[in-house]
Structure 1
């Protein structure tokens, strides 16, 4: 069992990082591009999609949920920065765990990162579709609900629409966005009548197979495939595409803060702790776990280490600067959102755009919708970029078939087969699965990766204290211990069913490891030949 924890030495990792050739990735990214990749991945789902789910859980104290999530990421981010500067290879937390905790833990992390990145892209593609449907509505184009959502989300959307009409029909004086309207809406949905159910199914108008209604999120499927194509044609082109989108969506976020602040009603934040945090500290912690997905993009920066021009200097800059900027923007938007709309009335699918519509600011909602489309596109791009690089790193170590996952396109210099597989998987899952279920799975997987990276920093400082570190995590072991505690707490708050999903996913991964990866591992082969590392 000892060789299950065989490690790749730092010297071997450094030699691999220095290697060049047709079968290696191209170093073309500088600090600005790396920071833009971080912002590109982070700003999007959290603001434009998951802030609605978080507000329904924490109420106005959503602001503190973003602070809690941000602190957990900050502690983990400082650990990531040390590793990224010291081990400038693709693979992120997978590679770091291989160097410190051994192959089995590295495999678990690599398998876990697949859950983070591929399923993360699926979540975002679903959110992108919601905003695309809103965008089409601007021009009077109404997309069929059964082709705009998975079946469960489409039926919920149809039910909400019918319930809103019923609430207004029963009391024409009700104004959408007010507490009275929310209470009436909740009452109707709490006891759905046969009329409500019948009208919802009629509005959904979904085809059936064997008497079962079906739904397929076509926009989510198409956008995932388009982003995959962009990634296949080259990292330099992908980075340029991402940078232009980042400039647009940051401008839109600043627009939201500037205009939305004029429509904030401080009473919506509550008058005491009970109204500010209706679910108490437990609600703040649960919302932090749910919206944690908002932050996971910063660690994707570390997966591009093998494509950075000066990784020792530029990777810590990209990770820390992008995380700092995004945290400040998130807190500001959470304050504006919960100030503009009573927290019970915050829309889950498109919370920011709907908040402005509730204030009769349709033109502003249109701008926000365009910004959300751009923002979510860049998030998908970086998620799928990170996924393909992790698969590439695992294939290079023999844990996955190298002829497929490790093959570099002769012209584009990208791991094109791995990229296409990851993109197609994200497209399928995003088109048939409810967004909140995918998001929760992604969160717990990412939190586990963060915890292991924090543990790895402590281990490496103890075992190899004299190793040259271009960037050093400050206050070790305090910072990584805080990272373990904060991220572990958010894992705990996600509930038993998400733990069950994670355990099932990891069991599947262990079956793959013991049936294929262990037998083909380059490290295991070297050890069996007696050469060691």
Structure 2
């Protein structure tokens, strides 16, 4: 056959690419409860996104890399996410099925690509959960400190800890664990296994609480701003991406993962009442709302406290202490602790639904796709996932995992953007209730969309500083980030090669899935 075969001819060659009819039928066969409204989806997106970025990573990104220009870093990261959010909106309205980008890739590029996307998303969600639980632990310890309750140091730190002043190139190991982070993951796991409707109600209450606390911080904090703290807006550049223009992009790559929560909305298609309309609203709307909140809070925070003093796990607590308002400190610490639990809930929800879908397809053991008869949730897989995340939270420090999750997020987002281009060329006649803006161009008949290309470019911009930082750590004597990353991808490749490929429902069409 000619190497210039038509797209439709090439598309038929892959026996392990699902049709829309197949994936819709499979989606309808799983008895998840359709109860989520557009408002609940929007709140899920906001609840999952407003968390570690504003409560935890703002301080580190400003103190170490960008200074007050972290505001620009938030906008750069938001731009990368916005282009991806438009792509998610088109795919979610076109394919209103569970599994998010995993399912989109299965339809577009086939099983192998879908597996790699799901493996990236599991990295993104799993390590995001660990980072958020670490932030929750930091604020909870601050809250306990207000009441003069202090846990032993070995119950507040992870087993691995970076050596101060080593810039992450040296680690120490010891008999210690993050107890609060560990317990918080287990509690959220139990709530999630209980039911999505109960989880959504809890999330709505928590989102209202934490947004209210943040607005209170903004209203009161404005009068405590010292404009001199914003100068120099872009501190003079130093080596290794510290400050200057390069530091802004490095900071953007750090806080990039904090925006990833909006993606969890796309995993809820099987439980949304009107997924074709409501999923795009939830995805794009939550991202825009969260960007405004992030920038506003960061501006006030950096106006109250010099950026050099914010390299802590609880920067908002430092700001309320500087304002001399103990009652506000109590509210902020309490709001952050409870608010981060909603982020944890949304992230674990998204991960559990990806595991549900891949388990249903036979690529991982069917225990992850087994639906509890009473709760109508994948409770068994949720508990397994929760136990793994709890152990990661107790042992891995946020300094290591933040880069890994940003890398996983950027790669997964880039695949989503590419999927839109692929779908437009190989399934041009598919009905699309929502389409990405800005149009596209055709090169030799091949459609290339402006929005997905910009999304891919921005994701690559997020990735480059992360790769550089890992290489720098490796050369400095800390191979842990590289080892974790390589080991993770190796396990993923071997899992598909020796398990998923042979047990896939596409290889065994008569195989049944437990439900």
Quote the residue 2:215 is aligned against.
254
Q: State whether structure 2 residue 99 is matched by structure 1 residue 91.
A: yes
Correspondence for 2:137 among 129, 139, 150:
129
Aligned to 1:479: 451
Following superposition, the deviation at residue 11 of structure 1 comes to 2.0
1:512 equivalent to 2:476? Answer no
1:523 partner SS: coil
Q: Are 1:227 and 2:188 counterparts?
A: yes
Q: 1:295 is matched with which residue: 232, 235, 259?
A: 259
- Name the residue aligned to 1:144: 152
Structure 2: distance between partners of 1:366 and 1:225: 25
Distance 1:215 1:223, change over 3 A: same
Tell whether 2:326 aligns with 1:366.
Answer: no
Aligned partner of 1:463 in structure 2 is 426
Q: How many Å apart are 1:91 and its aligned residue?
A: 0.8
Verify: 1:449 aligned to 2:448, yes or no: no
What is the rounded CA distance, in whole Å, between the counterparts of 1:221 and 1:80 in structure 2? 32
1:361 Cα deviation from its structure 2 partner: 2.3
Match 1:8 to one of 9, 12, 18: 18
Q: Deviations over 1:27-56 (max 9, x none)?
A: 110100000100110011111111111112
* Structure 2 CA distance for aligned equivalents of residues 5 and 258 of structure 1: 58
Report if aligned partners of 1:135, 1:366 keep a CA contact under 8 Å in 2: yes
Q: Retained in 2: the 8 A contact 1:60–1:338?
A: yes
Distance 2:491 2:195 in 1: 32
Q: Distance in 1 between matches of 2:403 and 2:132?
A: 13
Give yes or no for the alignment of 1:62 onto 2:23: no
Which of 113, 127, 136 is the aligned partner of 1:119?
127
Distance in 2 separating the partners of 1:101 and 1:499: 28
| Count of aligned pairs between the two proteins | 472
Change (3 A) 1:443 1:3: farther
Deviation at 1:123, TM superposition (A): 1.1
Q: Note if 1:25 corresponds to 2:6.
A: no
- Give the alignment of 1:43-442 within 5 angstroms: 43-56=50-63, 57-153=65-161, 213-271=174-232, 273-274=234-235, 279-402=243-366, 404-442=367-405
Q: Deviations over 1:100-130 (max 9, x none)?
A: 1111111011111111112211111111111
TM-score, with structure 2 as normaliser: 0.88
- Measured in 2, the distance between the counterparts of 1:7 and 1:401 equals 20
Tell me what 2:49 maps to: 42
State whether structure 2 residue 493 is matched by structure 1 residue 521. Answer: no
CA offsets 1:411-457 (integer angstroms, 9 cap, x no match): 00000111101111111100111112112111110110000000000
TM-superposed deviation, 1:95: 0.7
CA 1:500–1:73 in structure 2 vs 1: closer, same or farther (change >3 Å)?
farther
User: Displacement, 1:336?
Assistant: 1.1
CA RMSD of aligned residues (A): 2.3
The DSSP-based 3-state class of the residue aligned with 1:7 is: coil
Question: Aligned pair in 2 of structure 1 residues 218, 520: CA closer, same or farther (>3 Å)?
Answer: same
Preserved contact between residue 39 and residue 323 of structure 1 (Cα < 8 Å): yes
Contact 2:69 2:234 in 1 (8 A): no
More helix by share: 1
Question: Gapped runs of 5+ residues in structure 1?
Answer: 157-188, 191-200, 202-211, 529-533
Residue 362 of structure 1: CA displacement?
Answer: 2.3
Greater Cα offset, 120-129 or 321-330: 120-129
Instruction: Out of 73-82 and 146-155, give the one that drifted further.
Output: 146-155
